[in-house]
Amino acid sequence: MSDDEKAVTIPAQGDAPKEEGATLTKDPAPGEVLLRVSGLKKHFPIKKGLLQRQVGAVHAVDGIDFEVRSGETLGVVGESGCGKSTMGRLITRLLEPTAGKVEFEGRDITHLGVSAMRPMRRDVQMIFQDPYSSLNPRHTIGTIVGAPFKLQGVEPEGGIKKEVQRLLEVVGLNPEHYNRYPHEFSGGQRQRIGIARALALNPKLVVADEPVSALDVSIQAQVVNLLDDLQQELGLTYVIIAHDLSVVRHVSDRIAVMYLGKIVELSDRDSLYKAPMHPYTKALMSAVPIPDPRRKAAKSERILLKGDVPSPISPPSGCRFHTRCWKATQICTTVEPPLVELKPGQQVACHHPENFADQAPQDTVLLTVAKEAAELVADEVLAESAETSAAVAAEVTKETDVTKETDVTKDANDK
């Protein structure tokens, strides 16, 4: 057994820091870079025939660069199939990258083997989308939430049972339900169990892949707010993946917008919502539900992207969005726009960005596809919808705190 694999005792969360050996380096100060990703790629080979010869590859993640700073929440959004989950699995090292680099606390973890990754696994945890399939139905909640301690050979102070019960309480569940099975819980409660399991080893980074998309809308806000509260209490750093901008808006400090395996815009939250610069971001934002029924009726005021997302097996040349972009010109078909910081804290990959000077002003002739790519929305309507959804999100937060208390009481009464 290597030093890395020796059993360690960690104190309960919120107490003294982990014992020496439980982490690789000292905890980074808030704002310091915790995770750095550069040129990250994942191409899934497509094999055919008896000899299983490779005939192509799915370019699921195709060269992305970003940082996650300690204590922040990075939201990652994009349509289905754009590579969000693959990115999440790459940074948690559940998948082996095809190319590029992943650094955690300054250490290159891109190609660490299973045993070298084991101590790292305490620091980086993942919450999965589907709370139904991610919990083993034959195991009790106690076994599920306590599993990370056994896998890591970690003995918490006071024993595993006591620590698991504490964790259940932290996520708003009744600790007396330790011996119950997953089917005895609702979807929202199961996701809380998944969160408790992810928090067991006091991680530094939590990657949550669509943590609420399988839940009823009424429960979604509760879980999002739970994640938010836990971040404040435990100083966690999050990467939260969602396909819906309204989910990440409330909790993110910065947001990365992905399209076909690339990051097309990476910005602090307020700048992104106030003045999105990539046409795709603008289209995604206008897909965010507008609660005002009068606005809902005004369909012509939204950007409706036409056409399907192209195949990641052979992504379009130049800018990958050019087959659906209403601003596309010739240069967009041939030159891939690099992701550059056009405004402080706002990086974008576009030749003709919104809300900023044109980067290719000489290229003015729209492609045929551009003329039919979308219906446009007036800027002031977009701004208004963003303000309304901010107000709704704030309202949800207030209500959630009340509901959460009711939930816990209900659990206690269930007993």
Ligand X SMILES: Nc1ncnc2c1ncn2[C@@H]1O[C@H](COP(=O)(O)OP(=O)(O)OP(=O)(O)O)[C@@H](O)[C@H]1O
d(C-alpha 28, C-alpha 33), whole Å: 8
350 near ligand SF4, rule: CB under 6 A: yes
Contact 146, 160 (CB under 8 A): yes
85 near Mg ion, rule: CB under 5 A: yes
For the chain, report the end-to-end CA distance as a whole number of angstroms: 44
What is the side-by-side order of every strand in the sheet holding 262-268? 124-127, 205-209, 237-242, 73-77, 254-259, 262-268, 346-348, 340-343
Least CB distance from residue 335 to ligand X, whole Å? 24
Distances (CA, A) of 150 to 9, 122, 154, 181, 201: 12, 12, 6, 19, 11
351 near ligand SF4, rule: CB under 6 A: yes
The structure tokens listed for 31 are 């704002």
**Nearest C-alpha neighbor of 257 from the set 228, 222, 288:** 288
Please, which of residues 26-65 interact with ligand X by CB under 6 A? 44, 58, 60
Contact partner at residue 312 from ligand SF4, Mg ion, ligand X, none, CB < 5 to 8 Å by partner kind:
ligand X
Angle in degrees, CA 121, 123, 125, rounded to 5 = 65
Q: Which of 185, 238, 273, 321 binds ligand SF4 (CB under 6 A)?
A: 321
CB nearer to ligand SF4: pick between 350 and 386: 350
Least CB distance from residue 369 to ligand SF4, whole Å? 9
d(C-alpha 128, C-alpha 270), whole Å: 27
Binding string, residues 148-177; x marks residues near ligand X by CB under 6 A: ------------------------------
Distances (CA, A) of 157 to 5, 173, 318: 19, 21, 56
The structure tokens listed for 409 are 């009481």
d(C-alpha 292, C-alpha 389), whole Å: 10
CB nearer to ligand X: pick between 57 and 224: 57
CB nearer to ligand SF4: pick between 21 and 310: 310
Q: Which of 28, 75, 81, 188 binds ligand X (CB under 6 A)?
A: 81
Least CB distance from residue 249 to ligand X, whole Å? 17
Contact 11, 158 (CB under 8 A): no
Q: Which of 327, 346, 374, 396 binds ligand SF4 (CB under 6 A)?
A: 327
Binding string, residues 238-277; x marks residues near ligand SF4 by CB under 6 A: ----------------------------------------
CB nearer to Mg ion: pick between 85 and 165: 85
Interaction site with ligand X (CB under 6 A): 44, 58, 60, 78, 80-86, 243, 312
Interaction site with ligand SF4 (CB under 6 A): 278-279, 319, 321-322, 325, 327-328, 332, 337, 350-352
